Amino acid sequence: MPHAAPPRLILASASTARLALLHGAGLAVEAHPAHVDEAEIKAAAQADGVGPDDAALLIAELKAARIARREPDALVIAADQLLIAGEEWFDKPPNLNTARAQLLALRGRAHTLVTAVLCQRGGARIWHHVARPSLTMRDFSDEFLDAYLTAEGDALTACVGAYRLEGMGVQLFDRIEGDYFSILGLPLLPLLGFLRQHGALPG
């Protein structure tokens, strides 16, 4: 009896970092951006008492559903990431002034990156995973911060933490605990394990 053909893989995201992780891992995946109002959804979730894990999964699911409606036979991968420090949730900074204020608020403190990934096929969620890496920023100087913002520029507005760990942003930290790929925005190892079980990757 012949094996079923592996499903077509679609990443419901405009994130170049997530797409690069999947391509680097050898996956033949297409990127179809799925636009949802993340800030509004997060604000509503907080107002309703929804926890950050469920909020991140909700946003990822809405992204996946947008693509899955158009591509019902594909296996759609979607992800979302929230930054939590104390009771405060942080969004992607819209500009460098906001990025600077956010980094000052996080300076010398620990925060958590709630990173959710899920897969949909045929309009139904078939798998999900949430990772919670913890990062502690060092007490960096104002001079370092100014140099960092100048060096990284507008690329920081695409990052929920206003830093890219794969770049100069690693210099912001004293301690990092948790999965590196999850910090970059995608819990890659659990996802690859699921895709193998689902027949989307060779075992």
Q: Which residue range is the domain that position 128 belongs to?
A: 9-197
Q: Is residue 107 part of a domain?
A: yes
* pTM, 2 dp: 0.92
Q: Is residue 84 part of a domain?
A: yes
Q: What is the pLDDT of residue 1?
A: 40
Query: Catalytic: 146?
Result: no
The enclosing domain of 148 has a CATH number of 3.90.950.10
Residue type, 150: T
Calculate helix-pair angle for 38-47, 52-70, nearest 10 degrees: 140
Q: Is residue 203 part of a domain?
A: no
Q: What is the pLDDT of residues 125-179, one digit of tens each?
A: 999 999 999 999 999 999 999 999 999 999 999 999 999 998 999 999 999 999 9
Q: Is residue 172 part of a domain?
A: yes
- 68, 122 contact by CB (below 8 A): yes
Q: What is the pLDDT of residue 3?
A: 59
User: Exactly one of 37, 80, 139, 146 is catalytic; which is it?
Assistant: 80
Structural domains in the chain (count): 1
Q: Is residue 75 part of a domain?
A: yes
Q: Is residue 1 part of a domain?
A: no
